[in-house]
Amino acid sequence: MIRKLRDQLGANNFLLLITIVLFIAMYIAGIIVYRENNFGRFQVFLNLFISNAGLIVAAVGMTMVLITGGIDISVGSMVAMTCMLLAWMMENKKIGAIPAIIIVLLIGVIFGLVQGLLIAYLKIQPFIVTLAGMFFARGMTAVISTDIISIKNETFLKVANAKIYLPFGGYVNKKGVMIYPYIYPSVIIGIIVLIIIFYILKFTKFGRSIYAVGGNEQSALLMGLNVKRTKLKVYVLNGFLAALAGFVFCLNTSGGFVEQAKGFEMEAIAAAVIGGTLLTGGIGNVLGSLFGVLIKGTIETFITFQGTLSSWWTKIVIAALLCFFIILQSILASTKHKRLKST
């Protein structure tokens, strides 16, 4: 039966379905186990988005890169550099919030452009190029300032702290105050990015060529697709999204310092893989990556609600999940291969 379902859905959607089912199962388990601790509250669910808005943006960009068969491990350092630049420009140079944001986004685009040119046109391994990018961005962050810079810019803080209340799903807390669930603008940015990239990948020529390039570069070339240009565009877009993720991340922490967002890129890759993206390229879905992020967030929430487990268990569970999905993917790939052979 499972095979029938898989054949109908295709490998792409089948992996996505598993991720979504897993997330829902975990979440329901959480609601049951921690029912006395208010796990079922709508705000707990929204907190997954609030706390991980930056990661959603980064994971969406990462998914796109992974679909082309590439990788970008400079994202975490880019996030740190963006935060630091924002803080430094606004606090030490007294540049307004909006010009500062535009500047960092432009820097993201330029960063992506350079990496993309090296990867697409000089055919250097994406891992090596972005490894260099990772060291460069982290180094630059320290050069800008080794101190912690706190953002005090009013416009910025106003956006960062602008609570958007939802008119439903509220609860009365212990002190008898009705509290409505809320989100921050960062969540809206994350969702918009997700929708736009989802649309691009599904419904545009550019999106389809991304899948084609990742599926089989040779045949994409033979089909007359401009492989190099597609790759370049993907890395530029990802550079932009990395900077945007940095801005969103900064809305949460409102400060810049060197050690920020270490290992962020790995979390983004893990989210994408759990969401059903294949590292070999050609298969993936940004919606899956969203659920990958949400699963990570749910595990973290589990652990804080449990209260005595070491928070390092998050990493161990993520590791188990990654193994599970990789094995599942390889099974799917091998059966697909077999079917192709037999026909």
Interface positions with other proteins (CB under 8 A): 26, 29, 33, 37-39, 41, 43-44, 47, 50-51, 148-152, 157, 160-161, 173-175, 177, 179, 184, 249, 252-255, 257, 259-262, 297, 300-313, 316-317, 320-321, 323-324, 327-328, 330-331, 334-335, 338
Which residue lies nearer to other proteins by CB, 128 or 148? 148
Which residue lies nearer to other proteins by CB, 8 or 311? 311
Q: How far is the CB of 176 from other proteins (least distance, A)?
A: 10
- Helix H or strand E segment including 49: helix 42-67
Q: 112 φ, ψ to 5°? A: -65, -40
Q: How far is the CB of 225 from other proteins (least distance, A)?
A: 34
Nearest to 325 by CA among 106, 14, 24: 14
Identify each DSSP E strand in 207-318 by its residue range. Answer: 255-256
Question: What's the token pair of residue 123?
Answer: 């055919």
Which residue lies nearer to other proteins by CB, 42 or 198? 42
For residue 37, give the DSSP letter: G
Which residue lies nearer to other proteins by CB, 32 or 106? 32
Q: How far is the CB of 255 from other proteins (least distance, A)?
A: 4
In DSSP notation, 319-332 reads HHHHHHHHHHHHHH
Which residue lies nearer to other proteins by CB, 202 or 338? 338
Q: How far is the CB of 327 from other proteins (least distance, A)?
A: 5
- Cα dihedral angle (248, 18, 212, 3), rounded to 10 degrees? 180
Q: How far is the CB of 100 from other proteins (least distance, A)?
A: 17
Distance CA 163, CA 139 (A): 34
Nearest to 236 by CA among 85, 61, 57, 55: 61
Which residues, in sequence order, are bridge partners of residue 165?
A: 182
Burial class (CB in 10 A: 0-12, 13-18, 19+), 243: buried
Question: What's the token pair of residue 61?
Answer: 């960009």
Q: How far is the CB of 51 from other proteins (least distance, A)?
A: 4
Which residues, in sequence order, are bridge partners of residue 172?
A: 178
- Helix H or strand E segment including 314: helix 313-342
| Number of residues that this document lists for the chain | 343
Q: How far is the CB of 106 from other proteins (least distance, A)?
A: 24
Amino acid at 260: Q
For residue 9, give the DSSP letter: H
Q: CB within 8 A of 10, min separation 6: which ones?
A: none
Q: How far is the CB of 41 from other proteins (least distance, A)?
A: 6
Distance CA 231, CA 341 (A): 30
Which residue lies nearer to other proteins by CB, 311 or 343? 311
Which residue lies nearer to other proteins by CB, 106 or 259? 259
Q: How far is the CB of 334 from other proteins (least distance, A)?
A: 7
Which residue lies nearer to other proteins by CB, 14 or 249? 249
Which residue lies nearer to other proteins by CB, 203 or 324? 324
